[in-house]
Structure 1
Amino acid sequence: MIKEKVRIDSGEHSSLVVTLKREANYLILFLTGAWSLVWAGITLTILYGLATNPEKIDGELIIFTTLILLAGVFVIKYFLWHLNGKERIDLNAQELTVQKLGTILTSKRKYELSQIDNFRVVTKQTSPLIFRMYGITGGQIQFGYYGNNKVFGQTLSKKEAQSIVDVLNEKLISSTRAKKNQGSF
């Protein structure tokens, strides 16, 4: 039912861990890879020029070099995301954690379990296509959090997303029930 790119495990302390392997978009992988090679050539040329001719350093060159370096880091981030990216979703009794693995400059997004509405499959994508193609935004699984919609699972099919939604909602309901039972003693 679920392909190899999805892995569902019970983690420690009765948590549910879902790992989603990102399917590569080979066009984006090629474009970001080619851009990274060009970026490396430009960066090495600038650094060589600065090392051999330090009297040419001025404010504009420093700003330009900094912008080129930052742009390269972000392109490499999305190259790595397409090459070997994974999303790890950890649902325990207190919170939901969504983390991107296999790339750079990412952080865990944590959501209080008590503030999460049910999980559902996205019916209409609201983020721009170009952002979804590069893996910047978007997803197939959606949940409400403090009145805002949050998404994850960028390259899942609807069938895969529905299977994961069923498992997450079951765990969410059982965690909520367990908290209510603890509070009633």
Structure 2
Amino acid sequence: MNIKNKALNFQYQYSRIFTFGLNRTKYVCLPKSNSLFASNNSKNTFLALGFTLFSCLLFFSGFIEWYTNETQITTGFIIVFFVVHPIVASIGLRQFLWLINGRQELRIENGIMTLTKKGTFLTKKQTFELEHVENVRNEIQENSLSTYDKTLRNIALNRKLLFSHIMGEIIFNYKGKKVKLFNELTENQKAELITEINNLKEKPVANTVYN
């Protein structure tokens, strides 16, 4: 191994520090003849957990500032410490709850795909007509990345976790938009889920008859 490769490998090993977090990876895939249920836990790192947890302290910043410094209560003080800070803290709490307890669920029934996020608040269910779901694919094969690209991917992970819930191990197109789902899957799990979705796309939707 030459000096360049040693340096790249050192940078890659260092970048892995940014990926360490709580190990709560859980993947479920339950296909049936005409339906599918799949579930995947949220991804987290210790850095992202620490940052979002720290931001939650902004809920109490106004009381702390007023008590410790005996700051005069003014309109500006109220706006900053009792309006802006609680909004930021709420965003941090929402993300923190997702990082420690979140999961995404995928359901396909009667030609309709739904994606639901659970474990935090202010989430919105997404609904898609399966016939318009196109080009279901693996977001990227990490094994094909160079050491340098893997290093950049690891470093960027925390930024993504601070602002996003879903990293997007699998991607599909829907009416001109790109939709991402799930966070941390093995190559075999990705292949399995893509296959199951495509299999259901090829099957006719059963008509429900009401008497």
Q: TM-score range by the shorter chain?
A: 0.7 to 0.9
Aligned partners of 1:155 and 1:135: how far apart in 2?
Answer: 17
Runs of 4+ residues deviating >4 angstroms: 46-49, 128-131
For residues 95-149 of structure 1, what are the alpha-carbon distances to aligned partners after superposition, in whole Å with 9 as ceiling and x for unaligned? 2111111011111011122211142111389xx7554233605311111101221
Report matched runs for 1:169-180 at 5 Å.
169-174=198-203, 177-178=204-205
- Secondary structure of residue in 2 paired with 1:39: helix
Residues 178/77 of structure 1: CA separation in 2 closer, same or farther (3 Å cut): same
Aligned partners of 2:137 and 2:162: how far apart in 1?
Answer: 23
Q: Identity of counterpart residues, as a percentage?
A: 20
Q: Which residue of 2 aligns with 1:92?
A: 109
For residues 141-172 of structure 1, what are the alpha-carbon distances to aligned partners after superposition, in whole Å with 9 as ceiling and x for unaligned? 11110122111112223332222111221122
Would the aligned equivalents of 1:135 and 1:154 in 2 still touch at CA under 8 Å? no
Residues 66/40 of structure 1: CA separation in 2 closer, same or farther (3 Å cut): closer
Aligned CA-pair RMSD: 3.4
Report matched runs for 1:133-152 at 5 Å.
133-134=161-162, 136=164, 137-152=166-181
Aligned partners of 1:73 and 1:159: how far apart in 2?
Answer: 37
Residues 35/132 of structure 1: CA separation in 2 closer, same or farther (3 Å cut): same
Matched, 1:161 2:180: no
AA at the equivalent of 2:184: T
Q: Which residue of 1 aligns with 2:28?
A: 7
Q: Which runs of 5+ in 2 are unaligned?
A: 1-23, 143-155
Aligned partners of 1:43 and 1:107: how far apart in 2?
Answer: 31
- Secondary structure of residue in 1 paired with 2:50: helix
